[in-house]
Amino acid sequence: METGMNFQVVWDNMAHFMVGRYPSGPMGGILLTMYLAVVSCILSFFGGLIMGLLCVSRNPAIRYATLAVVNAIRGIPLLMVIFWIYFLLPWVMGGPTPESWTVITALTLFTSAYMSQIVQAGIEGIPRGQMEAGMSTGLPHTTAMIYIVLPQALRNMIPSFVNQFVSLIKDTSLAFIVGVSELTHVGTQINNRTMVYPTEIFLFIAVIYFIICFAFTELSRWLERRLAWRKSI
Amino acid sequence: MGSYQFDWSVILTGQYHDWLISGLYITIQLSLVSIALSFLLGLIIAIMRMSTVAPVRWFAVGYLEFFRNTPLLIQLFFWYFGSYKILPEAVNDWLNAQNYEFAAAVIGLTIYTSAFIAEDIRSGVRSIPKEQMEAARSSGFSYVRSMQYIILPQAVRLTIPPLISQFLNLTKNSSLAMTIGVAELTYQARQVESYTFKGFEAFTAATLVYLILSIVITALVTWYDQKVLSPMGMK
């Protein structure tokens, strides 16, 4: 058994790790990982916003129905959500759908549920007086929510959103299970081809994920400090 | 798909039912072992993180940041496929003598979760007001005894709800062990799907099991918050 490490395999496949077969072929590697994460993040921001607002609705039927959906999604593993979507999306769309759609849909659904909790907590964190003042100047509840409470709440939520984005980047690795050639999938492919360098390959991939995720974690901490500072003045 | 025929008997009786039950059994086994180990490891890392010895603290910070900022899946792959090059020969021999997939899953889940648990424990300790420690010290307790009798008993009570949600996360995360060939619940649901094409039924069964676990655990945490923490004024 060979015990020394040899990172030559990583250098030889660097382009594949970074962008897959792009631009002559489809996107892959880190590029696809970030693409999946960014698209799902944008979609689940709106998904989470809508679900979060429904969670604080004054209509108990809407509130409890949304909370039930949110808690159901939060109660099952992401892998299960991916299998469900893999299974149901072609049926809903009436034909075969690209695997990357499966992943984006599953990640969006899953992350929206978590984002809605952030939105809910953010709205509840704004003093009631804000809503009361808005309504006493004659604004309807919904308008006061959208123009007065939400803008203040959103600013406080930014660090949590960034943290959620970090989770999302990590979660894209599960796209490997349905054969989407993002970073993790590229790693397993190269590992299957070369056979003898699993340590080097997975260590390298771990470091790549770490660099990206750690950068965003630090950004979130910095935003949190800045927010705390702004509140203190 | 319009002509899909539901057949719940597939998962309610017979061989495929047994597969799912054995998967559930492995999920529970894997989760319980990893929960116990990740709590111990998390406690150790949390104590190291709060140490007054700088290198010990730096090691803990590095550990926390690295394992929290890399995907669990990659960590599992690393332990399963790649760890033999960095582990001592004796450890490799021992691992090979075990159920290697299961052992790798336990190692991966334990290390990943311990990093989150350590942070929860630390924030529990930090939420105990400084004056408690000062009061304890000024009434003659040593640092260790103050921790033991004054700080930790309070901190542990506060840490229980986040710890339980970490254990719930771990149970859900244990589904990733299927990727390295551990025949747990999700793995078996997929097996049933590929053998019978009754994926809807198989995934429904697995989803319900995960949901029931989550509901029970969430209810426990809520009960604890309301009945134990609130009356003590700790919430």
What are the extents of the domains in chain B?
A: 9-229
* Separation between Cα atoms, residue A181 and residue A170, nearest integer Å: 15
pLDDT exceeds 70 at position B1: no
Residue B70 Cα, gap to closest chain A Cα (Å): 5
Nearest to A214 among B69, B75, B189 (CB): B69
Q: Which of A39-48, A163-172, B211-220 has the lowest mean pLDDT?
A: B211-220
**Do A177 and B72 lie within an 8 Å CB cutoff?**
no
**Best residue in B1, B30, B70, B81 to probe A by mutation, most A CBs within 10 Å?**
B70
From the list B102, B103, B86, B108, the residue with the least C-alpha distance to A1 is: B86
Q: How confident is the prediction for chain A on average, in pLDDT?
A: 93
Indicate the fold that domain B9-229 takes in CATH: MetI-like fold (1.10.3720)
From the list A106, A229, A223, the residue with the least C-alpha distance to A162 is: A223
**Do A210 and B66 lie within an 8 Å CB cutoff?**
yes
Nearest to A209 among B1, B70, B206 (CB): B70
How far, in whole angstroms, is CA A93 from its chain's centroid?
23
Query: Which residue does chain B place closest to A208, by CA atoms?
Result: B70
Domains identified in chain A, total number: 1
Lookup: tokens for A110 = 């899953």
Which amino acid is located at A204 in the chain? F
In contact, A162 and A216? CB cutoff 8 Å: yes
pLDDT exceeds 60 at position A108: yes
pLDDT at B85: 86
- Name the one residue in this structure whose structure tokens are 């123009």: A147
- Name the one residue in this structure whose structure tokens are 């999920």: B27
From the list B159, B202, B235, the residue with the least C-alpha distance to B19 is: B202
**Best residue in A67, A70, A80 to probe B by mutation, most B CBs within 10 Å?**
A80
* Separation between Cα atoms, residue B69 and residue B73, nearest integer Å: 12
Is the ipTM, as predicted for this complex, more than 0.85? yes
pLDDT exceeds 90 at position B158: no
pLDDT exceeds 80 at position B3: no
> What is the Cα gyration radius of chain A?
21
Domain-located, residue A127: yes
Strand partners of residue A27: A20
* Separation between Cα atoms, residue A105 and residue A110, nearest integer Å: 9
From residue A126, how far is each of A35, A120, A148, B128 by CA, in Å?
Answer: 33, 10, 10, 26
Domain-located, residue A1: no
* Separation between Cα atoms, residue B162 and residue B120, nearest integer Å: 7
From the list A15, A29, A36, the residue with the least C-alpha distance to A187 is: A29
* Separation between Cα atoms, residue B195 and residue B188, nearest integer Å: 10
Query: What is the domain extent for residue A79?
Result: 8-232
Domain-located, residue A57: yes
Q: Which of A150-154, B65-69, B109-113, B220-224 has the lowest mean pLDDT?
A: B220-224
Query: Which residue does chain B place closest to A216, by CA atoms?
Result: B69
Q: Write down the pTM of the prediction.
A: 0.92
pLDDT exceeds 70 at position B33: yes
* Separation between Cα atoms, residue A181 and residue B94, nearest integer Å: 35
Chain B residues close to A3, C-beta within 8 Å: 85
Query: Which residue does chain B place closest to A205, by CA atoms?
Result: B74
CB within 8 Å of A166: residues ≥ 6 apart: A213, A216, A217, A220, B69
**Do A213 and B70 lie within an 8 Å CB cutoff?**
yes
Q: How confident is the prediction for chain B on average, in pLDDT?
A: 91
- Name the one residue in this structure whose structure tokens are 């056979």: A195
Can you tell me whether residue A27 is helix, strand or coil?
strand
Domain CATH code at residue A76: 1.10.3720.10
What is the tens place of the pLDDT at every residue in A50-93?
A: 999 999 999 999 999 999 999 999 999 999 999 999 989 998 99
Percentages of chain A per state (helix, strand, coil), in multiples of 5? 80, 0, 15
In contact, B182 and B102? CB cutoff 8 Å: yes
**What's the count of helices (H) and strands (E) in chain B, helices before strands?**
11, 0
